Structures are given as structure tokens and as C-alpha cells.
Amino acid sequence: MEIDKAIGESDDKRLKTKYNNAIFVIRRALSLYSSCIAIYFTDLCSIEEVAFSFNGGKDSTVLLHLLRAGYFLHKKEMSSSNGGLSSFPVRTIYFESPSAFTEINAFTYDAAQTYGIQLDIIRQDFKSGLEALLKANPIRAIFLGVRIGDPTAVGQEQFSPSSPGWPPFMRVNPILDWSYRDVWAFLLTCKVKYCSLYDQGYTSIGSIHDTVPNALLSVNDTSSKEKFKPAYLLSDGRLERAGRVKKNASVKNDVGSDSQKHEVLLASVIAVGDEILSGTAEDQLGLSLCKKLTSVGWSVQQTSVLRNDVDSVSEEVDRQRSICDMVFIYGGVGPLHSDVTLAGVAKAFGVRLAPDEEFEEYLRHLISEQCTGDRNEMAQLPEGITELLHHEKLSVPLIKCRNVIVLAATNTEELEKEWECLTELTKLGGSTSLMESKLLMTSLTDVEVAEPLSKLGLEFPDIYLGCYRKSRQGPIIITLKGKVHNTSSAFIYFLQDS
């Protein structure tokens, strides 16, 4: 088989290791999710329950050839057949979109013809398409060309069940641990065809709306048309997505810069911890944080407690960051397997986790040389969106990813210290001077107080009105919150009216 032969003849040891590991994963998946029986000279290889997600990109092109090689070796072992490989029996799915590059479409169709691939074209979004596919076919596992640097790889392993809310299947990622360099070493060593865009400076390909050639490959040329070197010449693979246009246009601005538009700044507080949900530990930070935020004039829109799960964190952070001015998240921060908060934040912003040298340096002072981005996941931060907030009172800086603040505090004392530094370093307390809140208690009954309160609400629509009681028989506690003069007027109006 030409791929196996090319790698066998190469003297790139690293490539050989990567290849062997990927083939191992593929063969493991084929044994788990297919059945092969050899009857005399006929091979009955049923791999109906496995699919390959192919989109003509470089990573999926690598995977295509690895799957061809893996299937060939798998079949050989099951049937001691030594024949060639003229067709590719794994169901292959392509989500075709009107915003795909024509070169990508052309290459995908070409590859299908060259390698005898039966292509299932799906013209729906990923989730609905997969739902329909799984309804019609008994698919249990899908091969993907996802690599560790991809934003969508955050939290994934070589075998990762699909996320909650997605149809149930196993995501199999044989090249998860491959680097950009490994991908190109493979394609060039095996001398296989790849999409022509990679020879025109494109290094990772999304849609026509969000992808341009990578500026790092630009060649200074006197002629008017800009020229680019081929993708395999990009020396720093971490910058393969530099040609992707960022998707964060809808995200709210950083704190303070947007404050003219809102009267009150909106916050969301998120705790991450299985032990809070199981009742083993009490969440004291949430209460304390809500009090602190309110005291400096913020309005806390929501508090939530999440499982230690990357997708739960990323979904909630994504939702809250777009509706609130600032999101505060704590719990699940550290190097343990359950510490997934930063991975969730990275996924919410569509970036990867990457070693941060500056942060590593701080951690090294704390926990000595054990701390490197490779060995300690705590030294990895969401790439390109993280700002470290230094304060002399903190041994490790606070982490701010756009409008999400990740607090490392694990108890109220630590929170106290982080909060103090945070208010000094940011404009968190910026709206205090404009805002005022008044508290009053009344022994009037619910029925007696209901009417004046609703009148007050109509008269002062900009004032926040809150009511609660500590017991059924006890007094009602009313809070009025809003701009300084407005709150006082509302207060007087209510006293006169009730």
C-alpha cells in the first residue's frame, strides 16, 4: 500500500511515530465499530457503523490517506488478503455549503473520484445533518481531522463522545496530537494531492467569508498583485489560523468602554464545580461576589452553577458574555483533570489553549520548575484573548479573557484579596458614583403594598424595584436602585403614597 510504504521508507522518526499512533487509533476504532469475517477467499467487511467526515481541508486529506492505509492493514489482518485498495468502503460525509471555496469543492469531488469514495453530500448545518444521518443509518463513530491546536479540539481526546445536545456518536480523532509541521511532513512525504489553495498562501480553510491567505506567507513583490508562499513554508504552525477573520463582532466591549450606553453595568456570575451540585461543598463565593458587585453599582443578571465539563462551561460563557458587560467565573481552575474552566472559556471564544510564557514564569516562582506549558495545564491560557492583570499583592496575576474574568479564589478570604486588586486594576467600580440604592422595610401586608409599588414602577420606570421577605409573617423588604436623584425622588414618592 503506497502510503504505508512511503512512511516506511522515510527517515523522519517523528512522522513514523505519529503515523503509527494514528493507524493504531484507526484500527482500534475499526475493530470496535465494524465486523470483518473472512469466508474462504471472500472478505466480508462491514464498516457501516463508521463514517468519515471529509471536507477537502489539509487535515481531512491527511486523515483520508491514513484511513485508506488503516483500512488496508485492518483488512489484511482480518483476511490475510494481500490485494490492493481500489475502493474506500468507509461512508464519507461532506457538509457542502454555498460559502465554501470552489477550489475546496473541486478538490473534494476529485478526491472522491480518484480514491473510489462514495460521498454523502449533506446540505444542512452540522447538527441537523448529523441528526438526519444517524436517524437513517446505524452510525456509531465518526472520524474527524481535528487537531489539538483547533478551537474545536478543546477538551477532546482521541475518542470523545459527541457533546451533550448533539446526536450520540463517538468522535474519533486519530490526528489529534499532530502538529502543523506533522501534517505537511505527511502530505509531502506521501506525495499526495491536496487542495490548490494551500499553494496560494492559505494555511487553514474555513468559508469564503472568513478566510484569506495567511499574511505571514506574503512575498514582497514590486508588482501590484500580492503573492504568497505555499502553506508548508509557514514556520510557526501556531499561526496557521492567522488567515481566519475573527468571529467576535457581536461580543460586548470591555468593561467601561460601553458604559455610556447602559445606565447600569450587567454582570453574570458562574461557579464551576460538581461538588456544589452534589451538595458536598457550599458555594460561598457566589453570594459574596453578588454583594460586592451590587455594592459597586453592578446589576447581577444571573448566577449559575455548572458541572466540571468543557461544553457546559463554553455554552454558558458564550451565552453570558454576549448579554452581559462582564462575566465572573470561578472554580475548576488548576492543573487537575476536572479543572476545565479555562478550556471552556477558550472554546466559548473559538480559540485554543496555548502555553503562556509570562504566566508560566509566575507559576514557576510558586511551584518551581515543574511548571511548563507542556507539563502543567495550568500554564495554558486561551490564546490571543488573555490579558494578565498584575498586582503586587497577588502571587499570580488575574486572568481576563475579553469580558470574562477568571477568578482563582477558592474561599471568601482569597476572593476578598482578588476583588480588592481587581477593583484597583479595572474600572469595575466606575458606575458607583452615579448609582444609589435605598432599602426600606414595611409591616404593611402584601395586598396593601402591592398597589403603591406598581404605581411607583409606572412613575419611575428607570428605577429597579426589588421586594422580598425573610419569613411569611415578617416585614417586607423593598429595594430601590437607580440614578442618585431619581432613587431619592422615588423613595419619597413611595413613602407619601403608601
Ligand X SMILES: Nc1ncnc2c1ncn2[C@@H]1O[C@H](COP(=O)(O)OP(=O)(O)OP(=O)(O)O)[C@@H](O)[C@H]1O
Ligand Y SMILES: Cc1cc2nc3c(=O)[nH]c(=O)nc-3n(C[C@H](O)[C@H](O)[C@H](O)COP(=O)(O)O)c2cc1C
Residues contributing to the site for ligand Y (CB under 6 A) = 53, 95, 126, 130, 142, 144, 152, 162-163, 166, 171, 206
- Contact between 59 and ligand X per CB under 6 A: yes
Q: Judged by CB under 5 A, which stretch of 49-57, 161-169, 173-181, 241-249 contacts Mg ion? A: 49-57
Nearest approach in angstroms of CB 46 to ligand Y is 21
- Contact between 394 and Mg ion per CB under 5 A: no
Helix (H, G, I), strand (E, B) or coil at 24: helix
Nearest approach in angstroms of CB 3 to Mg ion is 21
- Contact between 149 and Mg ion per CB under 5 A: no
Pairing outcome for strands 435-442 and 476-483? antiparallel
162 binds, among ligand X, ligand Y, Mg ion, none (CB under 5 to 8 A by kind): ligand Y
Q: Which residue has the cell 508588482?
A: 223
| 113 vs 496 by CB, closer to ligand X | 113
Pairing outcome for strands 398-401 and 386-389? antiparallel
Please name the helix (run of DSSP H) or strand (run of DSSP E) that holds residue 105, with its range, or none: helix 102-114
What 8-state DSSP symbol labels residue 246? Answer: P
- Contact between 60 and ligand X per CB under 6 A: yes
- Report the C-alpha gap between 460 and 493 in whole angstroms: 10
Nearest approach in angstroms of CB 356 to ligand Y is 23
- Report the C-alpha gap between 456 and 19 in whole angstroms: 71
Nearest approach in angstroms of CB 139 to ligand Y is 10
C-beta of residue 296 within 8 angstroms of C-beta of residue 432: yes
- Contact between 204 and ligand X per CB under 6 A: yes
- Contact between 92 and ligand X per CB under 6 A: no
C-beta of residue 203 within 8 angstroms of C-beta of residue 214: yes
C-beta of residue 398 within 8 angstroms of C-beta of residue 392: no
At residue 36, what are phi and psi to the nearest 5 degrees?
A: -125, 125
**15, 19, 55, 228: which one contacts ligand X (CB under 6 A)?**
55
Contacts of 89 (CB under 8 A, 6+ apart): 45, 47, 71
The 104-143 site mask, x for binding ligand X (CB under 6 A), equals ----------------------------------------
Q: Where are the alpha helices (DSSP H) in 397-483?
A: 412-425, 446-459
163 binds, among Mg ion, ligand X, ligand Y, none (CB under 5 to 8 A by kind): ligand Y
Nearest approach in angstroms of CB 488 to Mg ion is 58
| 70 vs 350 by CB, closer to ligand Y | 350
C-beta of residue 465 within 8 angstroms of C-beta of residue 456: yes
Size of the site for ligand X (CB under 6 A): 16
Nearest approach in angstroms of CB 151 to ligand X is 8
**What is the full DSSP assignment across 295-313?**
HTTEEEEEEEEE-S-HHHH
- Report the C-alpha gap between 276 and 290 in whole angstroms: 17
**57, 145, 149, 243: which one contacts Mg ion (CB under 5 A)?**
57
C-beta of residue 463 within 8 angstroms of C-beta of residue 490: yes
145 binds, among ligand Y, Mg ion, ligand X, none (CB under 5 to 8 A by kind): ligand X
Nearest approach in angstroms of CB 156 to ligand X is 11
Q: Which residues bind ligand X (CB under 6 A)?
A: 53-55, 57-60, 93-95, 144-146, 150, 204-205
Residues near Mg ion, by CB under 5 A: 57, 205
